[in-house]
Chains A and B, each alone.
Chain A
């Protein structure tokens, strides 16, 4: 069973799609990171939280048929790499659509959804998924 604090400390980022921007080079990052991989020490103290628009496009996608227990009830589900308009590529589910309408290059936007359940008595975890525009 996952301790609540482990989920809670990431909620700001997962609920709002907040990442980090390096104010030394201007590059944006998701998931959150403390150091810019381009600027290294030059970025210390210059990484700033940034809320992404939630708009992007599908870079690649798959239908997952074989999933861990926490996702068993969702099988089959669509998982994608979504390239956000601001640059970062993130791993997320695509929902509320006919799978046949999903293509590489298709425009998507973020939706707030239930992600998984930690067993029958554990916390219900929420975060971002994406819908077709």
Chain B
């Protein structure tokens, strides 16, 4: 039995340092926006999947599924609500679980929400928590941070392929330019390449403008079966394919430190299942928590040969370029609330494909590729949307 899955509604909070909003405030706000956007009622919802990366360590709150359902006012209905955790790829992982639940025929209408409340911890303490996306005992224990691991990858990559720092900075410049047109983005300031290159060092060769910020935020979407869409005369965007793949947890264990094998495998599967070619993709959202990953992802998603992404970052990836990348502003400028990122990507792609992206609308956008990654590349989730 084939049961196509459609996105019929989407909503998100602003991403940023949202001091007046709690973990639950954010989750509920995004969820309600998505439900309202979809024009559905709580009685129609078969299940809720909540994505979250680090609430247990940051906010000392587990039981996220129940929390979301309860404060969305759904505790009386007994609707199943589970949390999906896949580190920084929790968002897309939850989308995939929800997709599978409809694909299987079990459910017709599922709400998927992602939330992260990261500014509840003061100062450098958050870096300790964020480092739990690495191998705690054998990377973070010895002084590694997410930025340091990205920097180790960047140094070797730049050395082996003769890539200048400017190519990395261009990725951030593009993110900021796009985010300037996105009202939900954390940073809406435009960035010059000089500003990007001269920002303070974090883990060289990466500096502050190569690194995504610490963010609060939530995003939610409503997924529906083809039956539900037809019966209720809904409009939506089809999920053409969903794929996930894994690699070693630690960077040092991998076959090549600058090859995101999980991304490569997930992309291959996603394209095969979607039945479209790379040339068909109208735009992409990629997981550029650090600028270096943006370049590696262009390569490992199959849009450039290894070491050649530098040829795409000056023109092709622009909003009006051959292959627009991160029209939302990406992780660098839209923001990086871990568990919300992958769903925020869907929210933005949904707007693009419904031609409701306003100032940043890509003309004739038909197919979107979304890439959400865990840790330094341990897991990658790829979705292709369209039609």
Contact = CB atoms under 8 A, between A and B. Distances in A.
**Is B one of A's binding partners?**
yes
A66 B124 contact: yes
Contacts of B144: 79, 91
B152 A68 contact: no
B372 interface: no
Interface in A49-108: 59-72, 74, 77, 79-81, 88-93, 104
Nearest to A89: B252
Contacts of A12: none
Given A79-B142, A115-B141, A68 B253 contact: no
B156 A59 contact: yes
Interface SS majority for chain A:
strand
A48 to B, nearest CB: 19
Contact of B204 (A62, A74, A88, A90): A62
Contacts of B140: 68
Interface in B127-157: 127-128, 131, 135, 137-145, 147-149, 151-153, 155-156
Determine the interface band of chain B, counting residues with CB < 8 A from chain A. 35 or more
Given A66-B202, A66-B203, A81-B252, A10 B152 contact: no
B125 interface: yes
Residue with the highest number of chain A CB atoms closer than 10 Å, among B128, B147, B252: B252
B369 interface: no
B143 A104 contact: no
Contact of B155 (A37, A71, A104): A104
Contacts of A125: 141
Interface string A21-44: 000000000010000010000000
B143 A90 contact: no
B119 interface: no
B152 to A, nearest CB: 4
A81 B258 CA distance: 12
A31 B142 CA distance: 12
Given A61-B155, A62-B204, A89-B252, 16 more contacts: A31-B135, A60-B156, A65-B201, A65-B203, A68-B128, A68-B131, A68-B145, A74-B143, A79-B143, A79-B144, A81-B257, A89-B257, A90-B138, A115-B141, A115-B142, A127-B141
Shortest 3 CB-CB contacts between residues of A and residues of B:
A89-B252, A62-B151, A68-B128
Interface of A: 10, 31, 37, 59-72, 74, 77, 79-81, 88-93, 104, 115-116, 125, 127, 129
18 contacts: A31-B135, A31-B137, A60-B156, A61-B152, A62-B205, A64-B143, A64-B145, A79-B203, A80-B152, A81-B152, A88-B253, A89-B252, A89-B257, A91-B250, A91-B251, A93-B143, A104-B155, A125-B141
